[in-house]
């Protein structure tokens, strides 16, 4: 037996023991390595999937199973390391859900999220004529109800939520022509009152609430003219004043407030100025040209990103564009980024609370139902669930819980449907 072994037997045993130790260290090393990999995998999974700021579009199941077994027949040594990591992110496949229908079909309307979380939709083009009706969407019931009627029917107007909670409607077009009359909606009474008129009648203009609470209105269309004039509304006096004119006339352009309070106006100029952009300084009330976009566009979107940059998407010059570009306020330059899958104009862009930008619908050769999501971290696009209905010239509002409400629009006619996408 072992105990009474000869010298040579003992040497063999020592040799065996030595090999055993060597083997054990090797096995231990492997086990530790595997454990470390498993821990890293687990922490990555936790970081990017479980604690990710948004639910992934589809159900993600990650299973890491590590099994290390050692057993030596001649020795009393046996180790079994079993690491099983099962992470299941349970999210329903994110889709668009129909919600209540608008009381009236409409496109080229405006939508405003009120302080109480309801959405006010105003005017637009109905089945034949411009509308003066306005309606409220209540997210708690999923229903639309008519509220006060505007004094003037209008399409291609703007609606801005003021710091006092009222909604200022400006300009647009009625069957009588371009409109100078502005109106104020009081959410606590549900009534509209006429406020001061703008100096210039305009449609397809922009209206931007500045950090000081005033509303800057720029450009727009008047007959066949691209307007270069800009005006300021002061909610405390409820009056309009002229501010300096832009360098060129623009319509169907965009206006975006930058972090420093300046306003970037882009596109919408007459040939060959479709690609120009300018900055408004609200303190000195002056306009200065800034870098030109890489492409000319109108009927595009512009969104201020968390980084301070501005994302511009799509639009049209000679046809629907799928291009996108970023404006950097520090260098005052534009950089083309990867293109969307679909060319589109008269679409919407919504900046989600996770920083991504959701682009919905618009017009290519028909109205579109496709939806694309821009991720600022990777500067790339992902096509996500399509809307249930084709829509262009619709509105997309971000409700207080992050849900996107797409309402109305055009698909071979004016539409009454509305749908929701739970983005977060």
Ligand X SMILES: *[C@@H]1O[C@H](CO)[C@@H](O)[C@H](O)[C@H]1NC(C)=O
| Distance in Å, CB of 82 to ligand X, minimum | 53
150 contacts 123 by C-beta, under 8 angstroms: yes
Q: What is the DSSP string of 146-197?
A: EEPPPSS-BBS-EEEE-TTS-EEEE--EETTEE---EEEEETTTTEEEEEPP
What share of residues in the chain are helix, strand, coil (percent, to 5)? 10, 40, 45
| Distance in Å, CB of 277 to ligand X, minimum | 9
Nearer to ligand X, 214 or 356 (CB): 214
| Distance in Å, CB of 344 to ligand X, minimum | 22
What are the angstrom distances between the C-alpha of 403 and each of 15, 37, 120?
70, 38, 16
| Distance in Å, CB of 417 to ligand X, minimum | 5
Nearer to ligand X, 26 or 289 (CB): 289
- Rg from Cα positions in the chain: 30
For the chain, counts of helices (H) and of strands (E)? 1, 34
CA 266 from chain centre, in angstroms, equals: 18
Nearer to ligand X, 315 or 376 (CB): 315
| Distance in Å, CB of 61 to ligand X, minimum | 35
254 contacts 280 by C-beta, under 8 angstroms: no
| Distance in Å, CB of 34 to ligand X, minimum | 56
257 contacts 263 by C-beta, under 8 angstroms: yes
| Distance in Å, CB of 206 to ligand X, minimum | 18
Nearer to ligand X, 55 or 149 (CB): 149
| Residue partners of 29: CB distance under 8 A and separation at least 6 | none
Q: What is the DSSP string of 330-357?
A: TTTEEEEEPPPSS--BS-EEEE-TTS-E
Nearer to ligand X, 291 or 355 (CB): 291
Strand 277-281 and strand 158-161: pairing? Answer: unpaired
Nearer to ligand X, 155 or 231 (CB): 231
N-term to C-term CA, the chain: 72
Nearer to ligand X, 84 or 98 (CB): 98
| Distance in Å, CB of 127 to ligand X, minimum | 11
List residues binding ligand X (CB under 6 A).
101, 189, 191, 199, 242, 272-273, 276, 291-292, 416-417
Nearer to ligand X, 73 or 318 (CB): 318
């Amino acid at each position: 037996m072992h105990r009474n072994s000869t010298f040579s037997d003992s040497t063999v045993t020592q040799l065996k023991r030595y090999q055993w130790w060597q083997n054990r260290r090797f096995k231990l090393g492997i086990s530790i390595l595997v454990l470390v990999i498993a821990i890293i995998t687990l922490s990555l999974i936790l970081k990017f999937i479980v604690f990710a700021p948004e639910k992934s579009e589809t159900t993600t199941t990650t299973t890491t199973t590590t099994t290390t077994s050692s057993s030596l027949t001649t020795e009393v040594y046996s180790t079994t390391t079993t690491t099983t990591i099962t992470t299941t992110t349970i999210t329903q496949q994110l889709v668009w859900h129909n919600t209540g229908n608008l009381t009236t079909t409409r496109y080229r309307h405006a939508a405003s999220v009120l302080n109480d979380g309801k959405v006010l939709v105003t005017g637009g083009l109905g089945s034949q004529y411009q509308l003066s009706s306005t309606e409220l969407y209540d997210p708690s019931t999923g229903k639309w109800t008519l509220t006060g009627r505007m004094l003037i029917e209008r399409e291609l107007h703007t609606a801005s939520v003021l710091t006092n909670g009222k909604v200022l409607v400006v300009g647009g077009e009625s069957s009588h022509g371009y409109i100078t009359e502005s109106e104020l909606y009081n959410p606590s009474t549900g009534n509209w009152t006429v406020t001061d008129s703008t100096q210039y009648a305009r449609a397809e203009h922009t209206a931007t609430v500045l950090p000081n609470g005033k509303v800057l209105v720029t450009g727009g269309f008047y007959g066949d003219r691209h307007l270069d004039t800009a005006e300021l509304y002061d909610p405390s006096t409820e009056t309009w004043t002229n501010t300096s004119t832009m360098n060129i006339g623009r319509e169907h352009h965009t206006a975006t407030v930058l972090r420093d309070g300046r306003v970037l106006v882009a596109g919408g100029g007459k040939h060959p100025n479709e690609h120009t952009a300018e900055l408004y300084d609200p303190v000195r009330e002056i306009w200065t040209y800034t870098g030109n976009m890489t492409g000319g566009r109108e009927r595009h979107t512009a969104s201020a990103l968390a980084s301070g940059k501005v994302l511009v998407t799509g639009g049209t010059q000679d046809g629907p564009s799928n291009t996108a570009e970023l404006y950097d306020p520090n260098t005052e330059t534009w950089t083309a980024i990867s293109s969307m899958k679909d060319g589109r104009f008269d679409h919407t862009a919504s900046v989600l609370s996770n920083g991504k930008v959701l682009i919905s619908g618009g017009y290519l050769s028909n109205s579109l139902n496709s939806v694309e999501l821009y991720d600022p971290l990777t500067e790339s696009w992902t096509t996500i669930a399509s809307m249930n209905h084709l829509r262009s010239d619709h509105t997309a509002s971000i409700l207080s819980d992050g849900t996107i409400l797409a309402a109305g629009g055009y698909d071979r006619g004016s539409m009454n449907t509305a749908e929701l996408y739970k983005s977060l």
